[in-house]
Structures are given as C-alpha cells and as structure tokens.
Homo-oligomer: A and B are copies of this chain.
Amino acid sequence: MVTLKDIAKEAGVSVMTVSRVVNKRYSEVSDENIAKIQSIIEKLGYVPNSSARSLSSKSSKIISIILQGSGNVLESPYNATMLGYIIQLVQEYGYNAMVHFINEYSDVTKHLQSWNAEGALFLGTFDKNIQQIQADNKLPLVFTDSYSSVRQLINIGIDDYKGGVLAAKHFIENGHRDFAFITPHTSVNQLIKQRLKGFQDTIETANLNLYPEHILEPTNMEETATRLCSFKKPVSAIFVAADNSAIELMDRLKRRGYRIPEDFSIIGFDNLPISQYVTPRLATISQDIKQKAQFALEVLFQHLKKSILTNAEYRTGC
C-alpha cells in the first residue's frame, strides 16, 4: 500500500506538502512541487486511506442508508428504485454509501457511530423510534415517508392523504358507490393510514360509505380475494395502497373469473413500471421516486453543510 510517506520520500518533501497536493490545496504549494508530487502519485497509484482520514479529520465521507423491514427489502420495487437513486446521488456528491438493513433500532446508533457517518437517510417505518434515534445521533438525519409527530424532524414524503382523495374521486366520478380499501403486505403504518384517511374522508364527503368491514389488512392475497368476493354488501371499487399488492390481487381475481374493470375496478399506488404491463393496465396514483430521492439528498447535504438542524417538512405532489 502506497502512503503519503512513500510519496514524500520519493519527492524529497514532507508528508504535509504531499497532503496539501492530495487535497488540492494548491495555493499552499509551489507549482514545481505540485507537478512533481502529482506525477509521483500517478506513477505509484496512490489512493488515500479513508479510515485514516476519517480518524484524524472527523469527516468520514460516509452517508448511511438505513432500510427497515423484514426479509429481502429490495424485493420491493419501491425500495429498490429509491435506494438506487439515492446511491447514485450520494456518489455524485462525492460521498460513499453504506447500506444497513435494520430490525433492532439500537443498531441504528451502533452503525452510525461506528463508522462516524456524516449523515443518514432512512427508508421504511421508524415512527416510534425517531425521537430516540435523533437523541442518540447528532448528525443530519433525513427520514422518508414518515408521519412521526416529532416536531424537530426532516422528512421527505408525498401527500399521501391527497393520494387517497384522488383515488376516491376517480371512483366516485366513474359512478362507483361501493368501496374497499386494502393495505399492502407491509406493516400498516401512518403512511397507509393517511392514504386510507384521504380515501375515506372523500367518500364520506360525497355522502357515501366505506364500511369498516371493507377495510382489509391482508397477510395473504388469496384469502383477501376470497373475502372480497364474499362481502354481504358487494363492492365494485378497490383501492390497494401499493402497486405490488394491487397487481397480485388483480391476478387472483382474474383467475377466479372476474373481469377487471367490469366486476371490480382497482386503483393502485406508486405507478411502478410494471403496473403498465399487466392486463388491463393498472390505474394507479403516481409518485415521482426520483424526485423524492433528489429532494432527500438535497436537504441532507444542505444540513450537512450548515451543520444546523432545523425543523423541516417537505412533501411533493402525487
């Protein structure tokens, strides 16, 4: 491994002079030395040791990306797409992405402190633990899709309530009167509840009803399909709060001989690419994942620069 010392010896200067060149502090070094040192760096293939840098400068150039959930969380296209954009952007900002899948919340602090991460980005549901995480970690923390009531919080989300409103309006305008709401496989969190609330409020404003027994939290889509088809008061309009689940449900219903959208009209959420390849195309509430990632990183680096933690709440449309 080539070190500053090796370069210094070869160039006949001190390590400090080499360090200055490596860090592009050119105004502090003579042109002659800059040229000489750069050519030696090139020749020897010097790569700075990030651990040493992190240790001495307290700046690790690491952004931790923390995903909550069970099993392979990247099987969810939403998580995968979001994570992909985030890593791309972290790299563009000149940082390194360390990815952690989390179950125990105490692990968050462990990971962040252990690597001296400069900032962290959270995907998934952390609502109940945000306060603790914030108390333990004094670095910029950006949450996504959170509905925590913590006041001092940076969150990037969409207007999930409005998503529910849009779904309900669409159904009502198309003459539907009997609705169901299906939560996705993932845990039922505040985000889902917001979508439900927007849906429900809009239905009730139109003097219609979303019956409690028509709100399902499936663990199993096959069973959900069975229940949907055996309601005493049949429904015609189904809002499934995530495309994945909507597509699976649609498949089950079709295999039972029901026609979509004649027998059941379905609206999903996310507008994943795949929702356009099923038959019929899935109607869905769209959200711009790329923009969400961009926002999240912008805010993160803004706070990283300023080192000021202020309250912030950002929501984009859908």
Contact = CB atoms under 8 A, between A and B. Distances in A.
Given A247-B277, A276-B251, A278-B278, A91 B100 contact: yes
A116 B3 CA distance: 13
A51 B47 contact: no
Nearest to A84: B74
A81 B85 contact: no
A91 B247 CA distance: 32
Interface string A114-156: 1110000000000000000000100000000000000000000
Given A98-B96, A99-B97, A277-B278, A72 B88 contact: yes
A192 interface: no
B51 A110 contact: no
Nearest to A254: B279
Main secondary structure of the interface of A (DSSP, over half): helix
A254 B97 CA distance: 41
Bin chain A's interface residue count. Answer: 35 or more
A80 interface: yes
A218 interface: no
A246 to B, nearest CB: 10
A81 B80 CA distance: 8
Contacts of A77: 77, 80
Given A74-B84, A84-B73, A113-B1, A274 B276 contact: no
Interface string A48-68: 111110110000100000000
Contact of A96 (B80, B115, B116, B251): B115
A247 B281 CA distance: 13
Contacts of A114: 47-50
23 contacts: A47-B110, A47-B114, A49-B55, A49-B116, A50-B114, A50-B115, A50-B116, A51-B54, A72-B84, A72-B88, A74-B74, A74-B83, A75-B80, A75-B84, A80-B84, A91-B100, A96-B98, A98-B98, A247-B277, A248-B277, A251-B276, A254-B279, A277-B278
Interface of A: 1, 45, 47-52, 54-55, 60, 72-75, 77, 80-81, 83-85, 87-88, 91, 96-101, 109-111, 113-116, 136, 247-248, 250-251, 254, 273-274, 276-279, 290
